[in-house]
Amino acid sequence: MTKWIPAPDFDLAKTLDSGQVFHWEKLDAGFIGAIGDRPVYVEQRGESLLASGDEKLVRNYFALDHPLSKICASFPDDAAMNAALSFCRGLRIIRQPKWECLATFVCSSMKQVAHIRQISRKLRERFGERRQIDGHAVFTFPSAERIAAASEKELRECALGYRAKDLLATARQVASGKVDLEKLSILSDADLRARLCQLPGVGAKVANCVMLFAYERLRAFPIDVWIERVLRERYFPRARKLNAGRLRAFTEKYFGGHGGYAQQYLFHHARMGKTKNTRKRKSGRFVTVSRVK
DNA sequence: CTCCAGGGATGAT
DNA sequence: ATCATCCATGGA
C-alpha cells in the first residue's frame, strides 16, 4: 500500500513543524497523522515522499502542486525576507480540512505551539474516531457535530480554558447548518474574512489563519505576536505609534499576492531562531543569534 | 519559581 | 476608531 510520490522542492519536517498544523507525530523516520478521516504514514526520502494511503490525497494535502519557486520569487527582496527564505526552503502551505483548521485556531489564542498540539491531541483522543495504521493508533479530528454535542465542562477538560465556550459556540453554528464552511469558498477574501469573524472566538488573526491554511487564500497575512515582533524589529525599527491598522495596511501592499507564504516563512524563521538558540541581551538591546546571511 | 504564548471580547476613552 | 483589561493553561 505504500507509494512513492515525487515531491521536489518540499521539506516535510519543516512544513509539519511550522505552526500551521498540530497533530502530526514523529514515527521512525517519518510522521503519522490523519488527513481528514484517513490515517497516513508519510516519510521523506530525498525528492520523494514514501506514503501509505491515497496518493492523490497526500499530494493535495501537502500542496505539492503549488509552484513554490514562482511563489518564492514573488517575495519582496529585503534582508529579513531573504534570510527567512533561505531558512525555510521547501516549506509549503498545506490544504487543511476547513472545520479542523477553524476549530484548532479557535483554540490557539494565547497558546504556544506545544500547547496547541496538546489540545489538538486531547480533542482527537476524546471526541475523534480511532483509526489504525501500521499497528499505530491515529485519531481523526472530531466533527463539528461531535464537538457541539459535548458540554463546555468536557471541552475544558481538554485544557482549553476560556476557549472552550467559543469552540462550543462555533461548533454549534457549524453543526446546525447556520454556517456552511464549504459554501464560504465562493466569497471574496474580504467577505470570507468578515464572515469568519462573525464566529465566536474568531478575530482577524484567526480568520486569516483559516483563510490561509484551509481556504487557500495565499494572500491572507495573519499577524500574531511573532510576526508583529518581526515587523517592528526588521521593517519598522524605531517607529512611533505603530498600531494594528498601520501594520495591516503595510503587509497587504508590501508582501503581495503570496503574502501568506511570506508570512509563514518569516514566522517559522523567527520562531526557530528564538526557541532553539535563545536570544541574548547585549548592552540593553536584543541581538538575534541566528542570522542567516 | 516566573514568563509568556499563532487573541478575542468587552468596556472605557 | 483606538486602547486597556481580562480571560485559563502549561511548556520552557
Q: Tally Cβ neighbours within 10 Å of residue A256.
A: 16
Identify nearest nucleotide to residue A20 by CA to C1′ distance: B6
Residue A276 pLDDT = 53
Longest dimension (CA), chain A: 58
Q: Å from A11 (CA) to B8 (C1')?
A: 33
Q: Which one, of A62, A52, A59, A72, lies nearest residue A15 by Cα?
A: A62
CA angle A249, A253, A254 (to 5 degrees): 105
Residue A53 pLDDT = 82
* pLDDT averaged per 10 residues, chain A (length 293): 92 98 97 97 97 94 98 98 98 98 98 97 98 95 98 97 98 98 98 98 98 98 97 92 93 97 98 65 31 24
Which residues have CB under 7 A from strand C? A 110-112, 114-115, 118, 156, 159-162, 241, 243-245, 275
Identify nearest nucleotide to residue A109 by CA to C1′ distance: B7
Identify nearest nucleotide to residue A208 by CA to C1′ distance: B6
Q: Are A228 and A267 in contact (CB under 8 A)?
A: no
Residue A239 pLDDT = 86
Nucleotides of B under 7 A from a protein CB: 4-9
* Amino acid, res. A157: E
Helices (H), chain A: 12-16, 55-61, 68-73, 79-87, 98-106, 113-127, 144-148, 152-156, 163-175, 189-197, 204-214, 225-230, 244-254, 259-277
Q: Å from A229 (CA) to B5 (C1')?
A: 13
Q: Which one, of A124, A107, A108, A119, lies nearest residue A36 by Cα?
A: A124
pTM given for the model: 0.94
Q: What's the CA gap between A233 and A246, in Å, rounded?
A: 15
Residue A133 pLDDT = 94
Q: Which three cell numbers stand for residue A44?
A: 521523506
Strand B proximal to A271 Cβ, under 7 A: yes
Q: Which one, of A123, A211, A198, lies nearest residue A166 by Cα?
A: A198
Q: What's the CA gap between A182 and A75, in Å, rounded?
A: 30
Q: What's the CA gap between A228 and A201, in Å, rounded?
A: 20
Nucleotides of C under 7 A from a protein CB: 1-3, 7-12
* C-alpha count within 13 angstroms, C-beta hemisphere, residue A98: 17
Could you tell me the sign of the dihedral formed by the alpha carbons of A217, A102, A162, A124, in that order?
negative
